[in-house]
């Protein structure tokens, strides 16, 4: 296995990604590791969140029903602490960040994790 953690979506998260893709076009995720909602994965139209040397591309998620891969970025500083985990993107009820595309729907993405090899 590579040194980057594997990222996957739950069925509920994949369904939400399909709905958001239909409404907003190509998508991307970024998890900044900031305080509050910044530590949750946020979904943006592709390219709306500018990434750079302070970010790591962890995965290009293949989602059934979505024409293109959905890149999942994480801040390098947060990646250092999560590099030995498998990241599972899920969705739960409740409002998260006002910047993430799912916020108006009354749901939010969150990360569940498992140690690599678990």
pLDDT tens digits, one per residue of 91-114: 999 876 568 899 888 899 999 988
pLDDT class of 4 with cuts at 50, 70, 90: very low
**What pLDDT score does 97 carry?**
59
Contact indicator for 109, 102 with CB cutoff of 8 Å: yes
Residue 117: band (very low, low, confident or very high) from pLDDT cuts 50, 70, 90? low
pLDDT band at 118 (very low <50, low <70, confident <90, very high): low
Q: What is the mean pLDDT of residues 37-42?
A: 74
Q: What sign results for the dihedral spanned by CA atoms 89, 93, 36, 48?
A: positive
**Distance, CA of 30 to CA of 76 (rounded, Å):** 11
Max avg pLDDT among 9-23, 37-51, 79-93: 9-23
pLDDT mean across residues, the chain: 88
- The confidence band for 53, taking pLDDT boundaries of 50, 70 and 90, is very high
């Amino acid at each position: 296995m590579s040194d980057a953690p594997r990222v996957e979506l739950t069925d509920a998260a994949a369904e939400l990604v399909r709905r958001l893709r239909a409404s907003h076009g190509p998508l991307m995720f970024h998890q900044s590791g900031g305080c509050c909602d910044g530590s949750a994965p946020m979904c943006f139209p592709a390219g709306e969140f500018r990434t750079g040397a302070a970010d790591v591309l962890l995965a290009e998620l293949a989602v059934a029903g979505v024409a293109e891969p959905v890149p999942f970025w994480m801040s390098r500083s947060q990646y250092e602490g999560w590099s030995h985990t498998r990241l599972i993107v899920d969705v739960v009820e409740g409002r998260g960040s006002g910047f993430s595309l799912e916020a108006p729907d009354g749901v939010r993405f969150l990360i569940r994790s498992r140690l690599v090899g678990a």
